[in-house]
Each structure stands twice: as C-alpha cells, then as structure tokens.
Amino acid sequence: MFKYPFAKTQAWVIFLNCLKKGINVIKAMTGMTECGSPVAGEVESVYCLQLGDSDCFKVGRTKNSPEDRKRGFSTGSSEKFKLYRTIKTEYAPELETYIHQLLDTRRAENGEFFNVSAQELDLAVEDARAFVEKARPLIHQAEQLRKEKPLNEVLVEPCNEIFQVYQRLRKVRRDRYLIEQEIAFLESTIQVAIGRNAAMREIASWKWTDHWTMDMDRFKKEQDALYQQYKRNSGYRRFSLERVDLMKAA
C-alpha cells in the first residue's frame, strides 16, 4: 500500500493520534475518568415527568432545569407533562439506570415511559436512591484502591460482618452465573428464530455492527518504536474469592 517506509510510519502516527483524540472525546462526552469510572461530584437532577393525570411517567436526568426539560417534552404533545418529582444527586446516571431497571417490566412500547402508579414509582425511586447513595461512594473507593499496588503481604483478619458479606457474595455470584446461563439460552432461542433476518416484529432486532480492532502483535513487530511510545501499563489488582467451606464455617 505504501511505497516508502516513511509514509507507512507516518500513517501509523496519524492513526494513533486520531485514535487517542477519539478516545479523549468519548471520555469527555461520557464523563469518564482514566480508570473508566464516572466522575463523582457534579450534581445533576433525576426527574420524573407525569403524562397528564395518568399512570404514565418518564424518568430521565439533566444538568439543566427539569422545568426546561419538561417544556421541551410538552411541545407538540396533546397531553401536558407535569413535573412529578426531582432528585438532585451526584450519581444521576447510576440512579436513573437503577430506576429504569427496577421498572423495566412496566416499560411502555415506545421505550421512554413507564406504566406505573405514583406509589409504585415512589417506591422504585426510594429503593434506587437508598442503594445508589450507599453503594457508589464505596464502589468509587474500591476502584481507586484497585489501581494501587498493595503496600505489603499482610493478611487482614475478617470480622463477622465481612464474613457475612463474603457469604452473600458467594451466593450472589452463583445466582449471577445461573441467571447468565438462562439469559444466554433465552437470547439464543430468539436469535435462532430470527435466523439470518434482521429482526422479529415487536420482539428484537439483530443487526450487523462492524467492530474494528488493532493488530497489536503486527504493530509491535513493524513499528516497535511507536509501540514503545504509545504503550501504557494498565495493570490492576485482581480480586479473587477464597473457596471456604460455607457449611463448616456456619
């Protein structure tokens, strides 16, 4: 493709610079830190809009005024939206997603609204808020520790509370595996039914998506100097549970 080695090297440089700029743009758009975690500290609003007086709500988030968001949705609609409630939080993306997951089985056909009563919505919001506000600071702290090498080889002795957490984690991980296997089976059933078509009406779409990756072995072999310049250590602490006999421990 390239007649001169210099041109080939320049092409690699251009490609890597574009790749780096693209990654930075994505991080800026999604609010991600270097470790891949959302930046905490910026207060946003999670809002709940009610469609008229019906049991139909929209849950979203915004950095701006929820009232402005409501007016934007009301434009061109036959029924007016009411701002049912607003929650200001540092963890708006996580709170919004958690509420959506709790109400997912009540999601309307358009995918944006939930057919629930005000009481059901309030319960979901409070459950989500309680968990997210308890979990996110701890998760953030663990993510920071994950990037730091241990200072020593000391084995910390577990207290009763931590051992109970360990027991629950063992159970939840087991449940997750079984659920993931069931999900794979159910998804595969639908996928086989779709076959080589693009979708199934009112069920699912299964469209082709290109996914390009970089041949790092070839790049290192052909452009080792550039590889050494752009490589970075992405090491981390690997968390592994010990296999304690829970029956004996109990």
Continuous H helices in 75-117: 92-102
Question: Tokens 């609003």 — which residue?
Answer: 45
Looking at every residue in the chain, the average pLDDT score rounds to: 84
Closest among 214, 250, 237 to 12, alpha carbons compared: 214
Question: Tokens 């659920």 — which residue?
Answer: 179
Q: How confident is the model at residue 247 (pLDDT cuts 50, 70, 90)?
A: confident
Query: Is 51 buried (19+), middle (13-18) or exposed (0-12) by CB count in 10 A?
Result: buried
- 172-218, pLDDT tens digit by residue? 999 999 999 999 999 999 999 999 999 999 999 999 999 999 999 99
CA distances in angstroms from 217 to 11, 13, 20, 109, 221, listed in the order given: 17, 17, 19, 46, 6
User: Cα(11)–Cα(22) distance, rounded to whole angstroms?
Assistant: 16
Q: How many CB atoms lie within 10 A of CB 103?
A: 21
Residue ranges per structural domain of the chain: 44-146
Question: Tokens 């794979």 — which residue?
Answer: 184
Q: What is the pLDDT of residue 10?
A: 52
Q: How confident is the model at residue 34 (pLDDT cuts 50, 70, 90)?
A: very low
User: Cα(28)–Cα(140) distance, rounded to whole angstroms?
Assistant: 19
Token output for 80:
């007016």
DSSP, residue by residue, 155-177: PPPPPHHHHHHHHHHHHHHHHHH
DSSP, residue by residue, 124-156: HHHHHHHHHHHHHHHHHHHHHHHTS--S--PPP
Q: What is the pLDDT of residue 26?
A: 41
Mean pLDDT of 49-64: 92
pLDDT at 17 over 60: no
- 88-130, pLDDT tens digit by residue? 999 999 999 999 999 999 999 888 899 999 999 999 999 999 9
Q: How confident is the model at residue 32 (pLDDT cuts 50, 70, 90)?
A: very low
